[in-house]
Amino acid sequence: MTTVFLNIKELIQVRNSNIKKVSGKEMQHLPTLKNAYLVIENNLIKTYGLMEDIPHFLNVKTIDCSGKMIFPSWCDSHTHIVYAGNREQEFVDRINGLTYEEIASKGGGILNSAKKLQATPEDDLYIQSAKRLEEVMALGTGAIEIKSGYGLTVEAELKMLRVIKKLKDKYTIPIKATFLGAHAFPSAYKKNQDAYIDVIINEMLPKIANEKLAEFIDVFCETGYFSVEQTEKIMIAGKKYGLQPKIHVNQFTSIGGLQTSVHHQALSVDHLEVMTTDDIEALKNSETMAVALPSCSYFLSIPYTPARDIIDANLPLALATDYNPGSTPSGNMNFVVATACIKMKMTPEEAINAATINGAYAMNLSDEVGSITKGKKANFFITKEIPSYGFLPYSFGSNVIDSVYSNGQKI
């Protein structure tokens, strides 16, 4: 089945060759074709070009896109969309003056979500999570990473990862699973942290590897959560089972987790709200992607990742949502792109590169998604009639998406 999209006002992020990531000044360049056509065959991008050069097609379906643009789907490389219930009460507690850390130390936060998730049957958890996935797909997300980490027992972590596996089987967008057993210490292990790390390494990891339930391993490396030494131990154990690290670091404090993650060839280091010059230096000459999560900064009123310092140091930067019940109950990549422009002083070109190509890199999906390139998946969205691509972040809070295609099918 061949479909030709005609009269596209601007086809965004067109890359003839498949580049893996864009860094520093390259991020300022967003290649596009004005007045273009796009051909998809079955589930893949077949070709594209300018309307003035369009060949004659026989027996194809055509779709007119006059006034509209086509973007490759957003690549959201950091989410926690498998969770049970919500944490609305903590939202109100924060409005009334408590901090995220204070709520966590009273047994709220991640442990609150873990309690809810442990009590939720797998089928119910799947239904709640699938709803979120469908919500973000409709908002233009066409590839996503999902973490465990609200189970914190062998059984509940496996339950989360099995739900992610079911989502992978049911939905057409690429989904990558990350094991985040090291998200918080369960109350019973507060005084015996080594014992919980032992459970992660010797009970959870072998089962997860055996059922092939995850591609990546994550740790919340932060003051009051997992220390750099504990993070390193878990990363090394995960790597033995073939799980590449993608690590939560520098959300509230800079304690050296970033350096250790880079040393262990982490695919990405995520959050980075608090960055020292040493942290930026450590990212240079590495293959590790820096990932910023501006909706989390927005929701918690914490600093934004210093995108300018990172990009101006000639480094790559990706943008993701962090969709989760505590720090970011939103999976809207359009809002992320807008907030990166508005609050982090990224240009629309930089933000769009960060949310597509660089996001794909941060999930090891560069060969499948992230740009309009021949042979990549036909995952893209068509906008409403808009004057320019910069109008998307400019009109923050409005939905400029008209329709979404996943694997060549309109959803």
Contacting positions for Fe ion (CB under 5 A) = 322
With binding defined as CB under 6 A, does residue 32 bind ligand NIG? Answer: no
Among the listed residues 316, 325, 348, 370, the single contact to ligand NIG using CB under 6 A? 325
| Tokens read off for 136 | 């973000």
The rounded distance, in Å, linking the Cα atoms of 162 and 165 is 5
Q: How far is the CB of 31 from ligand NIG (least distance, A)?
A: 32
Q: How far is the CB of 109 from ligand NIG (least distance, A)?
A: 5
Look at residue 348 and give the partner it binds from Fe ion, ligand NIG, none, a contact being a CB closer than 5 to 8 Å depending on partner kind.
Answer: none
With binding defined as CB under 6 A, does residue 113 bind ligand NIG? Answer: yes
Nearer to ligand NIG, 220 or 304 (CB): 220
With binding defined as CB under 6 A, does residue 353 bind ligand NIG? Answer: no
Output the DSSP codes for 167-178.
HHHH-SS-EEEE
| Strands of 216-219's sheet in order across | 74-76, 141-147, 175-182, 216-219, 244-249, 268-271, 289-292, 317-319
Span from 7-15, 105-113, 117-125, 388-396 in contact with ligand NIG (CB under 6 A)? 105-113
The rounded distance, in Å, linking the Cα atoms of 145 and 137 is 13
Q: How far is the CB of 80 from Fe ion (least distance, A)?
A: 6
| Tokens read off for 208 | 């997860």
- Size, binding site for ligand NIG by CB under 6 A: 12
Look at residue 252 and give the partner it binds from ligand NIG, Fe ion, none, a contact being a CB closer than 5 to 8 Å depending on partner kind.
Answer: none
Contact 407, 378 (CB under 8 A): yes
Cα dihedral value 229, 364, 348, 395, nearest 10: -90
Among the listed residues 79, 295, 324, 332, the single contact to ligand NIG using CB under 6 A? 324
Q: Whose CA is closest to 355, among 120, 12, 81?
A: 12
| Tokens read off for 79 | 């989410």
Among the listed residues 79, 230, 327, 383, the single contact to ligand NIG using CB under 6 A? 327
Nearer to ligand NIG, 256 or 348 (CB): 256
**Cβ count near 46 (within 10 Å):** 16
